[in-house]
């Protein structure tokens, strides 16, 4: 590694030296460069005297670090030591130290390459900022030195000490995490950027909306206030009241069986679950994505509908209202990406919450009982086999309309 040594007479010396070299050997090299006898040299690093028997690595000296050298005689004659450091890493005389660095073009050139932040502060006029940065660097070096000392202590620990082995295991795991993080910063920095969810422009019953496209939501959802704004609340079928279970749970007020939505220049029929969720406006879910054979094309950044007959671009972040960016979290709670339970009546308020209910349990509540048998009988009358009807109803969680569409399509 390379270190820079500044002498009391403003001489700058650059040394290429091994990190595990002793301070005494460094002084021997400086004796050749400065003609100052080894016994009269005093080396300071971060305001602390470096003793002859100490190793540079043990002191925390790293590549491109600065070491101060004064002779013992100079130290006695100038007790204030203007170019020294305080115990917290700040300069004893920041103005003199800053000026010394400014006057040395070689040191400044090295700092501009290795530490541009420090170089800019040295060239500036804010001594308080200069001192704060010196203290910050001192804390960073101290923390690094502490971590290294802990690692050395662990390596020398008793191999049969269970607690020591746990600490070694934790240190190895943390090192792997840090390496993985550094690799991600270098090769995959996009992973740390914010991902904007998918929105498209639609019209629901003639009212323009920005629809949140969510293939992880089982059903298409509209809020009560949005349905009212679109003039659809009069069509609300309250027989489909229930509770939508997902990350959280929301009350299902009912269902609107069919209403026109306009995507691009083409109208499509769409059905909605109406939720009492003021934090979510309109979510285009998997049921309608499948029904209308939609393709989420992330390469072209478009939503293709009807197998490609219509393509609408996903909105950029600047085109999405800021309040919608918070709706993404609520939509997951309100959507049926978990398990919606819709029944002929709402759940009783004193029923235990069904949080954490598995999809199998949710579906079993929809695929048994007289209502389910009535749906089976009705579809069988249309000419379909009983087993095929049951499978279709199970596939669409008891939704008679979607099951019929699937059977007719098959």
Instruction: Name the DSSP letter for residue 294.
Output: -
- Show the tokens assigned to 7: 């002498």
- Show the tokens assigned to 366: 């929809």
Dihedral (CA of 91, 95, 96, 100) sign: positive
Q: Where are the alpha helices (DSSP H) in 188-249?
A: 224-229
Per-residue pLDDT of the chain in tens (410 residues, 90 and over written 9): 888 888 877 678 888 888 888 888 888 888 888 878 887 788 888 877 888 888 888 888 888 888 888 766 444 344 444 567 888 888 888 888 888 888 887 788 878 877 788 888 888 888 888 889 888 888 888 888 787 777 777 777 777 778 878 877 888 888 888 888 888 878 887 777 777 889 999 999 999 999 999 988 888 999 998 999 999 999 999 888 887 765 556 788 999 999 999 999 999 999 989 988 766 789 999 999 999 999 999 999 999 998 888 999 999 888 888 777 654 454 444 444 444 544 443 333 333 333 333 333 334 444 556 778 888 888 777 777 887 888 778 777 777 777 776 776 65
Specify whether the CB–CB gap between 7 and 69 falls below 8 A. Answer: yes
- Distances in whole angstroms, Cα of residue 222 to Cα of each of 187, 274, 284, 395: 40, 5, 9, 23
- The ranges assigned to domains in the chain are 2-156, 158-193, 199-356, 370-409
Note whether 199-356 and 370-409 share their fold: no
DSSP lists the bridge partners of residue 210 as 201
Cβ-Cβ contacts under 8 Å for 238 (sequence gap 6 or more): 253, 254
Report the C-alpha gap between 338 and 335 in whole angstroms.
7
Q: What share of the chain is helix, strand, coil (3-state, %, to 5)?
A: 45, 20, 35
pLDDT of residue 358: 34
Task: Sheet with 2-7: list strands edge to edge.
Answer: 12-16, 2-7, 66-71, 41-45, 48-49
Q: Could you count the other beta carbons within 10 Å of the beta carbon of residue 399?
A: 22
pLDDT of residue 202: 92
Report the C-alpha gap between 40 and 72 in whole angstroms.
5
Cβ-Cβ contacts under 8 Å for 390 (sequence gap 6 or more): 367, 376
Specify whether the CB–CB gap between 261 and 248 falls below 8 A. Answer: no
CB neighbour burial string for 347-375, b if at least 16 within 10 angstroms, e if fewer = beeeeeebeeeeeeebbebbeeeeebeeb
Backbone angles phi and psi of 240, in degrees to 5? -100, 30
What top-level class would CATH report for the domain 370-409? mainly alpha
Q: Which residue is it, tokens 């072209």? A: 300
User: What CATH superfamily is the domain 199-356?
Assistant: Acid Proteases (2.40.70.10)
Q: Is 63 a catalytic residue?
A: no
pLDDT of residue 410: 55
- Distances in whole angstroms, Cα of residue 350 to Cα of each of 346, 347, 353, 357: 11, 8, 9, 17
For the domain made up of 2-156, give the CATH fold. Answer: Ubiquitin-like (UB roll) (3.10.20)
Q: Which residue is it, tokens 């249309």? A: 382
pLDDT of residue 279: 65
* Burial (CB count <10 Å: 0-12, 13-18, 19+), residue 158: exposed
Q: Spot the catalytic one: 214, 276, 287, 351.
A: 214
pLDDT of residue 57: 84
pLDDT of residue 147: 78
pTM of the model: 0.45
């Amino acid at each position: 590694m390379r270190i820079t040594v500044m002498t009391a007479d403003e001489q700058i010396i650059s040394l290429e030296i091994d990190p595990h070299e002793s301070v005494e050997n460094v002084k021997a090299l400086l004796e050749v460069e400065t003609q100052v006898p080894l016994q009269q040299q005093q080396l300071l690093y971060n305001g602390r005297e470096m003793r002859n028997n100490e190793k540079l690595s043990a002191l925390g000296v790293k590549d491109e670090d600065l070491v101060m050298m004064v002779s013992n005689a100079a130290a006695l004659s100038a007790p204030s030591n203007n170019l020294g450091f305080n115990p917290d890493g700040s300069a004893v005389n920041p103005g003199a130290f800053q000026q010394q660095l400014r006057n040395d073009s070689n040191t400044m050139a090295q700092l501009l390459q290795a530490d541009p932040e420090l170089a800019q502060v040295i060239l500036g006029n804010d001594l308080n900022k200069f001192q704060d940065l010196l203290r910050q660097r001192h804390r960073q070096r101290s923390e690094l030195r502490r971590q290294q000392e802990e690692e050395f202590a662990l390596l020398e620990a008793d191999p049969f000490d269970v607690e020591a082995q746990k600490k070694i295991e934790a240190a190895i795991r943390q090192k792997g995490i840090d390496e993985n993080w550094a690799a991600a910063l270098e090769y995959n920095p996009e992973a740390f950027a914010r991902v904007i969810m998918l929105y498209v422009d639609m019209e629901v019953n003639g009212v323009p909306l920005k629809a949140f496209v969510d293939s992880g939501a089982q059903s298409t959802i509209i809020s009560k206030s949005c349905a009212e704004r679109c003039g659809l609340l009069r069509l609300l079928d309250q027989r489909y009241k229930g509770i939508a279970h997902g990350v959280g749970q929301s009350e299902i007020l009912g269902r609107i069986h069919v209403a026109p939505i306009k995507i691009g220049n083409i109208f499509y029929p769409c059905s909605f679950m109406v939720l009492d969720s003021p934090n979510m406006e309109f979510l285009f879910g998997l049921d309608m994505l499948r029904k209308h054979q939609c393709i989420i094309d992330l390469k072209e950044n478009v939503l293709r509908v009807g197998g490609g007959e219509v393509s609408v671009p996903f909105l950029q972040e600047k085109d999405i209202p800021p309040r919608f960016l918070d709706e993404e979290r609520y939509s997951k709670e309100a959507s049926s990406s978990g398990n919606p339970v819709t029944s002929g009546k709402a759940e009783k308020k004193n029923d235990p919450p069904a949080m954490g209910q598995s999809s199998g349990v949710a579906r079993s509540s929809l695929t048994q009982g007289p209502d389910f048998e009535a749906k089976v009988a009705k579809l069988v009358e249309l000419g379909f086999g009983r087993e095929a009807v049951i499978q279709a109803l199970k596939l669409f969680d008891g939704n008679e309309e979607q099951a019929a569409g699937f059977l007719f399509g098959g």
